[in-house]
Amino acid sequence: MDINEQVLKIGADAKAASRELAKLSTRKKNSILEAMADELDAQRIFIQEENAKDLVAGREAGLTNAMLDRLELTDDRIDSMIKGLRDVAVLTDPVGEQISTWNRPNGLEIHKRRVPIGVIGIIFESRPNVTCDAAALCFKTSNAVILRGGKEAIHSNLAIASAMQKGGETKGMPANCIQLIPTIDREAVKVMCQMVGYLDLIIPRGGESLIRAVMQMAHVPVIKHYTGVCHTYIDASANLSMGWKIAENAKCQRPGVCNAMETLLVHRDVAAEFLPKMGEILTEQKVEMRGDAATCALIPSAIAATEEDWSTEYVDLILSIKVVDGVEAAIQHINTYGSGHSDAIISEDEKATVQFLNEVDAATVYVNASTRFTDGAEFGMGAEIGVSTDKLHARGPMGLEELTTYKYVVEGKGQIRE
């Protein structure tokens, strides 16, 4: 079989698996998730042997230490995958929920019912634990999953996926519910992206170039988990102590993630009071500051920002800072340069707050809180497959519910259309 045929067969098998999966009860699915956890535990040594192959190859290929670290499956990380599976088992199953029900004058009874999407493709990069986390969420929502990981983790990913499938089968999981593309050939991604009829959704998780490539190739629906160019705006009415604390948290608590702040906007009327101390705090935290002229005048250690800075996701200890004339200008800046992920206003003024919350076009908008809360667990979703920066189907943190769709079930007594 060539790659095209090989991937299409995986697609057809997944579609068939999705039909069987849709018939499983919640209790059965939960026992399967537990069995997967048991099997991961039982295959711990094999998984680590396979992981070692990836680590050797990675060192030979000259991966950085940071990349090798992300790749490594330590005992702790395997424990954490196992715990993740057991946690997903106890989450409420959204499948089958009656979203709404109504009657029509002709007597038809219409039920809008939550159902699985079908077959979901996950295309991701380095961390092998994504194999386990993503497959567990797709399985819990009765979706078949086709995983495509990075080439540097191929042995680890295959070991994890096959342990999950094997463990699940001991408790009656249908064949092919969890499949991993076994080749590292990039052509496989293209075939996946265009597998209309077999694949109902692709979720790419990774860097900008991966997501762009998927978006360009895809003929099946894609929900992008894109960059987070997140803003915090300090309004003239802000409680400045709160502003310093929240801005520091949004930038520094974990700078390498998509909900970290990348740009700080400050109202002109409070800039002279707010920025010097903010500069001290950020200097203490070793944050490089890139500001407009007004900022650089107030923070001597800041360097001049370029136009490109305003739309850059640093995911690092770097921050761009701009002084603005008010909430209107802040909204304008965010809607021009932001990525629609998470943006916050720090304000005690209701009018400015309402305007900001209404007019900033982002998945999540905050008043007086850190953007770092945009996260499935922080939102109380129990688990997340990622954070959507798209507007269709799912926006913001995607939990179990966002991995489902609905169907209409209509009950009649012989009604015909006149």
Q: Where does this chain bind a copy of itself (CB under 8 A)?
A: 19, 22-23, 102, 104, 108, 110, 117-118, 196, 200-201, 215-216, 219, 221-223, 239, 242, 245-246, 248-250, 253-254, 335, 357-359, 361-370, 372-374, 378-380, 390-393, 395-396, 405-418
Q: HSE (CB half, 13 Å, CA atoms) of 67?
A: 17
Are 169 and 28 within 8 A, CB to CB?
no
- In this structure, the number of other CB atoms found within 10 A of the CB of residue 45 comes to 8
The region, left, alpha or beta by phi > 0 then psi within -120 to 50, assigned to residue 40 is alpha
Residue 86 or 395: the one with the smaller Cβ distance to a copy of itself is: 395
Q: Using CA atoms, how far apart are residues 187 and 106, in angstroms rounded to an integer?
A: 53
| Minimum CB–partner distance for residue 375 and a copy of itself (Å) | 8
Residue 48 or 143: the one with the smaller Cβ distance to a copy of itself is: 143
Q: Using CA atoms, how far apart are residues 328 and 358, in angstroms rounded to an integer?
A: 12
Structural tokens at position 400: 């179990």
Residue 37 or 260: the one with the smaller Cβ distance to a copy of itself is: 260
Are 164 and 176 within 8 A, CB to CB?
no
| Minimum CB–partner distance for residue 341 and a copy of itself (Å) | 11
| Minimum CB–partner distance for residue 413 and a copy of itself (Å) | 6
Residue 223 or 302: the one with the smaller Cβ distance to a copy of itself is: 223
Structural tokens at position 407: 């169907």
| Minimum CB–partner distance for residue 411 and a copy of itself (Å) | 5
DSSP class of residue 174 equals P
**Contacts with 294 (C-beta within 8 Å, 6 or more apart), sequence order:** 268, 271, 322, 323
Q: Using CA atoms, how far apart are residues 282 and 350, in angstroms rounded to an integer?
A: 28
| Minimum CB–partner distance for residue 330 and a copy of itself (Å) | 14
Residue 70 or 224: the one with the smaller Cβ distance to a copy of itself is: 224
| Minimum CB–partner distance for residue 303 and a copy of itself (Å) | 27
Residue 117 or 323: the one with the smaller Cβ distance to a copy of itself is: 117
Residue 272 or 409: the one with the smaller Cβ distance to a copy of itself is: 409
Are 144 and 176 within 8 A, CB to CB?
yes
Q: Tokens 């990075």, residue?
A: 150
Residue 65 or 209: the one with the smaller Cβ distance to a copy of itself is: 209
**Contacts with 86 (C-beta within 8 Å, 6 or more apart), sequence order:** 33, 34, 37
| Minimum CB–partner distance for residue 81 and a copy of itself (Å) | 24
Q: Using CA atoms, how far apart are residues 142 and 94, in angstroms rounded to an integer?
A: 10
Q: Tokens 């039982």, residue?
A: 42
| Minimum CB–partner distance for residue 339 and a copy of itself (Å) | 10
